[in-house]
Amino acid sequence: MAEYQLINTPTKIKKVFTLATTESAAVKFDVSALPAIEGKTVTRLSIVKLNWAVMSGFAVRVLFDRSAGIPAEAMILTGTGSWEGQVKDKGTGNTGDIQFTTAGTAGTYWVEMEVVAHVD
């Protein structure tokens, strides 16, 4: 897997991920590793922008690592596309990290994701 960080400010992070195999619950954004915002600990993230290219017959599931309060899957990426909006983590429990799980036979994906950090 290759990972490139394009933006890293206290509240906005943008990364590009590429992979040519399968993975399960692979952490892409680790909430506990993010710097504090004005002295407050980051507790959750919102996905605000995505661009992707996923090989045919393959899918990337984007998940928040939570035990309650949100759907199991925030998004499923297939084919090529882009999206802009906001999917806010409103769940509770576990870490709140953003994870990818792939489905289908081993394939290749490229995902560019921008997130916004929040403190409670």
Question: Given strand 98-104, what is the order of strands in its sheet?
Answer: 26-29, 98-104, 58-64, 75-77
The string over 74-89, giving b where at least 16 C-beta atoms fall within 10 Å of a residue's C-beta and e elsewhere, is beebbeeeeeeeebeb
Pair 78, 54: CB distance under 8 Å:
yes
Structure tokens at 113: 């994701």
pLDDT at 73 over 60: no
% of residues, the chain, pLDDT over 70 = 92
Q: Which domain holds residue 16?
A: 2-118
Residue 78, classed as helix, strand or coil, is coil
CATH no. for residue 102? 2.60.120
Neighbour-count burial of 116, counting CB atoms closer than 10 A to its CB (0-12 exposed, 13-18 middle, 19+ buried)? middle
Task: Output the pTM of the full model.
Answer: 0.86
- Check residue 31 and report its DSSP letter: G
Per residue in 9-62, pLDDT (tens digit) is 878 888 999 887 888 889 999 999 998 899 999 988 999 999 999 998 889 999
**Mean pLDDT value across the chain:** 86
pLDDT at 71 over 60: no
**Cα angle for residues 43, 76, 8 (degrees, 5° grid):** 40
The β-bridge partners of 64 are: 98
Q: How many domains does the chain have?
A: 1
